[in-house]
Amino acid sequence: MEGRNDIITRINEKYASMSKGQKAIAAYLAEHYEQAAFMTAARLGETLSISESTVVRFAAALGYKGYPQMQEAVAELLKGRIHRAERVQKAYENNSQSEVLTSVLTSDMEKIRHTIDHLDPAAFDTAVDLILNARTVYILGVRSCEPLAEFLSFYLHMIRDGVTQIKTSSPSEIFEQMLRVGAQDCVIGISFPRYSVRTLKAMEFANDRSAKIITITDSVHSPMNLYSSCNLLARSDMVSIVDSLVAPLSVINALVVALCLKRPDQLKRDLEELERAWRDYQVYQKDEIDFINESMFDLPFLDKKG
């Protein structure tokens, strides 16, 4: 059973004090536990170009008696994922589709309510200021969090210059895209269980470069908080075969609206310029989306100064 003592939790708790070799093992286990569950210590070391003894010491550092016990813990990750999906399927198998709809939407509503009750307003205000004042805003979310990063990046581009979404399939590409990150920049890391070690490494790198760091994650126990002083917490649990990310998306929506409130005049000018570009270069035809009209600028938040 998954819990506070599973291997990922142990990795999260020890990550900050790990050596480079140990962090490489941690990253591989978190990202590829399906394969690691069937690897010997020697094979895992060979895959990562490190010694077998380093792998064995890593297991001991996490509190296991030896590599075989750690391997069993890795296998439990795989079993836990399968069993959890089976439990969800069993819970819904006798429900009609409309009952499934109601149940999932109700669960998502509860997550949003939990997020409202637990998100720190001061952290939210700080995040808005950091995003507005940064030279460059870097946004990173991988796997299921990548659509959240894409969504935030899309709207930040409409509010300010200097927005970079880090898109990567390997850890090395992260550092290539963040090569110039520094103290004047802001990095937004988005990660939920199972937390991405790739994202965690990026947060560590940004912290070493003195960048301002914002995390969007699920709890105070998240390892994403290790390198951030501005943590936006949004509830996320598995309610179906996939993880619910409705609450994190709502937090991102709130960020975008708050940022618009800070720069209403600039946003209006940018949208008008964009409409002119669409019209002048005939981006849209008559059978497609309507042009922006004046009623859009009657929204209450665009009349406020900030």
Q: What confidence tens digit (pLDDT) does each residue in 37-69 have?
A: 888 999 999 998 999 999 999 999 999 999 999
Task: State the Cα–Cα distance between residues 181 and 174, nearest whole angstrom.
Answer: 11
Residues spanned by CATH 3.40.50.10490 within the chain? 101-262
Burial of 254 (0-12, 13-18, 19+ CB in 10 A): middle
- Structural domain 101-262, CATH architecture: 3-Layer(aba) Sandwich (3.40)
Whether the bond between 194 and the residue before it is cis, its omega within 30 degrees of 0, is yes
Q: Which of 1-10, 52-61, 152-161, 203-212 has the lowest mean pLDDT?
A: 1-10
To the nearest whole percent, how much of the chain has pLDDT over 90?
A: 30
Chain-centroid distance of CA 9 in Å reads 17
pLDDT at position 279 is 74
Average pLDDT over residues 17-44: 84
To the nearest whole percent, how much of the chain has pLDDT over 70?
A: 79
Band (pLDDT 50/70/90 cuts) for residue 305 is very low
Who has greater pLDDT, 67 or 268? 67
Q: Give the up-direction half-sphere exposure of residue 278: CA atoms within 13 A in the CB hemisphere.
A: 15
Residues spanned by CATH 1.10.10.10 within the chain? 7-92
pLDDT at position 298 is 56
CB atoms closer than 10 angstroms to residue 292: 15
Band (pLDDT 50/70/90 cuts) for residue 3 is very low
Burial of 63 (0-12, 13-18, 19+ CB in 10 A): middle
Q: Write out the E strands in the chain.
A: 137-141, 163-165, 186-190, 212-217, 230-233
CATH of domain 7-92: 1.10.10.10
pLDDT at position 283 is 60
Chain-centroid distance of CA 42 in Å reads 32
Tell me the pLDDT tens digit for each residue of 201-242.
888 899 999 999 999 988 887 888 888 889 999 887 655 555
